[in-house]
């Protein structure tokens, strides 16, 4: 760059280098819209045959081995096939508590479905249908490669309208969403692709037709704020539901609440500002056996700081089952180290 005077077009006394810009004038709005439309159309045509409608009924089955007879109260949602032999993914809240599940395929066939397993903590469930022929499936993409602003296409059955398509963009990454169980679901995608009741459990896909999320929630009355569980979470949970029928997690058996540590305690015992105040201890639980008492403040588990209930939930994984770990507590102002071996958590309200 060369010096120039302030009267020219330069910035701060320098002449700007000329950087070639794309000639947007050569690409008309019509061409851009055509390209956008072609991307949405191609993805919808590729994915739609794998998207199903799910009716969850509380009534009795008619006992037939083929089609299911509708009846009884219940709700409906969406899902999508992930294996040719009939495994499909949906939301836990779509199928939870249902006595009978009816799946309608893209070709109009209605088949009874069995619940393979569900994980209310991530609001995911796997069903299976029995078909004499291989079924069309969707590819699970890598949600870790998703970028804010990229095209996002939602396909489902909102309000009973079969195979509806909406499109938008990925609005944000790394959101957290509270599930019906009370636990936080991490790594959630936010999109402005329109979702309505009945979209739950359907896929959120890229322009290539790869699943990047499982549509799960919309914030009302706001518009354009919708959420999908990431495909990374969905793939991990689905593999365990298919293998074991459940997702194994550990628990210690305390009821607690987030508290701010008094400044004096922060200076004396911990650099962290918050902790978990133990409000109750389940009799016979790992916490009870470890000697944790009501009123204790949990600061760390396995050397990892615990700033709140959600931090504790994140640490209570399958890998900690039966493995003794140090738990750091404050009791009446005194810092203590106890040893605790988390046990397997059965389906229960979110209690660490």
Catalytic member of 76, 78, 164, 200: 200
| Catalytic residue list contains 85 | no
Instruction: Please give the structure tokens belonging to residue 316.
Output: 């209570």
DSSP class of residue 48 equals G
Helix (H, G, I), strand (E, B) or coil at 135: coil
Q: Is-catalytic flag, 96?
A: no
Per DSSP, 220 falls in state S
Which residue stretches of the chain are H helix? 29-47, 92-95, 231-244, 263-269, 286-290, 309-315
Tokens of 43: 């993805």
Active site residue 200: yes
- Identified catalytic residue from 76, 92, 119, 123: 123
In degrees and rounded to multiples of 5, residue 3 shows phi and psi of -70, 150
Q: Considering 50, 76, 93, 270, which one is annotated as catalytic?
A: 93
Nearest in space to 351 (alpha carbons), one of 289, 285, 295, 300: 285
Measure the CA–CA gap between 214 and 121, rounded to whole angstroms: 14
What's the residue count for the chain?
A: 352
What's the CA gap between 256 and 77, in Å, rounded? 34
Burial of 81 (0-12, 13-18, 19+ CB in 10 A): buried
Distance CA 148, CA 63 (A): 48
| Whether the Cβ atoms of residue 80 and residue 202 lie closer than 8 Å to each other | yes
Annotated active-site positions, please?
93, 123, 200
């Amino acid at each position: 760059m060369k010096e120039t005077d302030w009267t020219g077009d330069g910035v701060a006394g320098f002449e700007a280098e000329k950087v070639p810009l794309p000639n947007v004038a050569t690409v008309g709005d019509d061409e851009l819209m055509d390209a956008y439309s072609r991307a949405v159309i191609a993805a919808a045509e590729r994915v739609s045959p794998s998207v199903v409608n799910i009716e969850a009924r509380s009534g009795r089955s008619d006992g037939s081995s083929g089609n299911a007879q509708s009846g009884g109260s219940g709700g409906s949602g969406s899902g999508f096939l992930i294996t040719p032999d009939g495994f499909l993914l949906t939301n836990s809240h779509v199928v939870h508590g249902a006595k009978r599940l009816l799946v309608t395929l893209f070709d109009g066939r209605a088949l009874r479905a069995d619940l393979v397993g569900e994980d209310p903590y991530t609001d995911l469930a796997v069903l299976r249908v029995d078909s004499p022929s291989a079924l069309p499936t969707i590819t699970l993409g890598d949600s870790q490669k998703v970028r804010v602003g990229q095209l996002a296409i939602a396909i489902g059955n909102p309000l009973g309208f079969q195979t509806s398509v909406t499109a938008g963009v990925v609005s944000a990454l790394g959101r957290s969403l509270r599930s019906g169980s009370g636990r936080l679901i991490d790594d959630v995608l936010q999109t402005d692709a329109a979702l309505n009741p009945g979209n739950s459990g359907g896929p959120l896909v890229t322009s290539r037709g790869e699943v990047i999320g499982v549509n799960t929630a919309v914030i009302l009355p706001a518009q354009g704020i919708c959420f999908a569980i990431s495909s990374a979470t969905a793939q991990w949970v689905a593999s365990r539901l298919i293998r074991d029928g459940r997702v194994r997690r550990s628990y210690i058996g305390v009821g607690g609440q987030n508290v701010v540590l008094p400044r004096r305690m922060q200076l004396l015992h911990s650099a962290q500002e918050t902790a978990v105040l133990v409000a109750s201890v389940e009799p016979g639980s790992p916490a009870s056996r470890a000697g944790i008492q009501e009123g204790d403040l949990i600061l760390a588990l396995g050397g990892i700081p615990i700033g709140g209930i959600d931090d504790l939930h994140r640490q209570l994984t399958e890998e900690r089952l039966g493995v003794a770990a140090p738990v750091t507590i404050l009791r009446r102002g005194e810092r203590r180290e106890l040893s605790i071996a988390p046990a397997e958590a059965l389906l229960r309200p979110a209690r660490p």
